[in-house]
Amino acid sequence: MNEESTDDADRLAGYVEVWWQAVDDFTAVLEGLPAEEWHTHTDLPGWDVHAIVAHTAHLEAVLAGAPEETVEVGEPEHARGLMGLYTEQGVAARRDRTPDELITELRESATRRKTELLADPPRDASASPARTFGGMPWTWERLLRNRPLDIWMHEQDVRRAVGRPGGLDSAPARHTADYLLESLGMVVGKRVGPPAGSTVVLDVAGSTPYAVRVGDDGRATPVPPPTGPTVLISLSREDFIVLAGGRRAPRQVRLEGDEELGRRVVDALAVTP
């Protein structure tokens, strides 16, 4: 095995471990919820706690080898695009399942999948997995990197809905925040478009500050955090993930430097579908 393949294999294995912890943390939260809290509305339009768990159980079941389900869902206002309608099918198909049934499906699907990944671990990050949900043309890199993010974000959706904060310093939390920080270049370069030479630093508590600089071509590329950037945006991890996840307004954002540019960047930070 060459050095590049070894690096890929180690990185992918790391994603699997973080995903497994995310599943374990999420189900531990769910097991502590009384039945009435499963009907609590969340920040995701049209979804209560039950719907979020049904969605997560659906995707993990498909990845573990369960057949795709086709359920008539109509045209719900909160379902955006084809992927939104696809995920709504998993929710509709599980609408009558009990909380215990959903937790069991999620745990059993994840266990089957982890067993499979340990028995035959992926070694090429650019290769295509045998299974993805909804026919997404993803590589192993994107699939395995996205799963901890998705599950941890939904853990936080549930925690906010039922008033049980926590889980913000875990390995899945760090993975998610660091991953979402990498979208800053796209946000600044494509959505905001400040003048060439502008530098933006995003300082999220618990993560290394992330900086981009706008080049003459309008693209914003990562750079070491400079002294005296055009704008420095500082916020907590929770405020960052509700912004990047398009969930709700943050409680507090601190801007230093060009505040108008900072506000434009903050307003454009929602990057998850």
Mean pLDDT of the chain: 93
Question: What is the pLDDT at residue 128?
Answer: 95
Q: What is the 3-state secondary structure (H, E, C) of 33-88?
A: CCHHHHHCECCCCCCEHHHHHHHHHHHHHHHCCCCCCCCCCCCCCCCCHHHHHHHH
- pLDDT classification of 70: cutoffs 50, 70, 90: confident
pLDDT band at 175 (very low <50, low <70, confident <90, very high): very high
- The C-alpha atoms of residue 226 and residue 223 are separated, in whole angstroms, by 8
Confidence grade of residue 6 (pLDDT, cut at 50, 70, 90): confident
3-state DSSP assignment of residue 20: helix
Q: Which domains are seen in the chain, by residue range?
A: 3-163 (1.20.120.450), 178-267 (3.30.1050.10)
First to last CA, the chain: 37
Strand partners, 214: 220
Pairwise CA distance, residues 128 & 140, whole Å: 6
Instruction: Kindly tell me if the per-residue pLDDT of 241 is higher than 70.
Output: yes
Task: Give the Cα-Cα-Cα angle 167, 239, 103 (nearest 5 degrees).
Answer: 35
Among candidate residues 236, 262, 269, 272, the one with its CA nearest the CA of residue 251: 236
Q: Residue 243: how many CA atoms within 13 Å on its side-chain side?
A: 27
* pLDDT score for 65: 94
Which pLDDT does position 76 carry in this prediction?
Answer: 62
Q: Note the pLDDT of residue 171.
A: 98
Within a 10 A sphere around the Cβ of 268, how many other Cβ atoms? Answer: 16
Rounded to the nearest angstrom, the gap between the alpha carbon of residue 12 and the centroid of all alpha carbons in its chain is: 17
